[in-house]
Structure 1
Amino acid sequence: MAGYSGTPLPQKIGIKDGLVVFLDNAPAALELVGTHARLPKQFDVALTFHTARATLTRRLPVLHARMSTAGMVWVCWPKKASKVHTDLDESFVREYGLSLGIVDVKVAAIDEVWSGLKFVRRLRDR
């Protein structure tokens, strides 16, 4: 499946064979083969989709706790151009992730509606 930019989404977001991938609250249109629909004890890659600060601030600490040492969490929120109602933006997502001790290393367009910010553990915490 080619992503919004023409690059296949798995390649764009770092999904490789053998990784444990979790989709959290994903839109119905998003299809990624070989993903978990239920939160595993530990994952390598998670994509979590939110439209509200309240749900993000409840969920991201849980995901952070289950992320493998070299794992990543993509926090996704609606783009402003999508016209989907949200109180999230890139600045809030970044600041909240940093407050949990994870760092953002990449931003990507997931599709026409969703933007994503990739978070990983700080090098000293791996």
Structure 2
Amino acid sequence: MSDKPLTDRLQLKPGRSIILLNEPNEYRSLLEPLPEGSKILTTENKADIVQVFVDSFTALKMQLPQAFTMLNPNGILWVTYPKLTSKMRSDVNRDSIFEYGLSLSWQGVSMISVNEVWSALRMKPK
């Protein structure tokens, strides 16, 4: 895992906003301290970054289209899923997210390790 702060890996720069969808308990503490002027917004808003957490393919199909609607133009979308090495049972992985994203005209462009349990795939429109 990278020594860089999680906010750097997520590209949460000063002044940028982020929406967290379905984040696990205590996840927000991993983002502290937030860069100056950055905010965590509620789902009624649009943000520069949307990070959606999915633990199943069903959750991916339900939450990914919702995440698109919350993203500012040219925003950054992170789909965060359990690592294969984590103790979480899941039927979703990098490849299934990539393939499903392609079916919605989005493609995976990079990956990060969030922590010992979660990885994240950054997606962009094709």
**C-alpha distance after superposition, 1:53-89 (max 9, x if no partner):** 1111011011112211110110011111112011101
Q: Show structure 1 runs of 4+ deviating over 4 A.
A: none
Shift in alpha-carbon separation, 1:40–1:121, aligned structure 2, 3 A: farther
Residue number in structure 1 paired with 2:118: 114
What pairs up with 1:1-126 in 2 under 5 angstroms?
4-30=1-27, 31=29, 32=31, 33=34, 34-36=39-41, 38-122=42-126
Work out whether residues 71 and 121 of structure 1, in 8 Å CA contact, stay in contact via their aligned partners in 2.
Answer: no
Deviation at 1:29, TM superposition (A): 3.1
CA-to-partner distance for each residue in 1:10-32, whole Å, 9 max, x for gaps? Answer: 11111111212011111123222
* Counterparts of 1:42 and 1:102, CA distance in 2: 18
State the alpha-carbon separation in 2 of the partners of residues 8 and 66 from structure 1: 24
CA distance in 2, matches of 1:23, 1:64: 13
SS of the equivalent of 2:40 reads coil
- Alignment root-mean-square deviation, CA: 1.4
* Count of aligned positions: 118
Identity in percent = 29
Normalised to the residue count of structure 1, the TM-score between the two structures is 0.86
What residue ranges of structure 2 are gaps of 5+ in the alignment?
none
Letter in 2 for 1:64: F
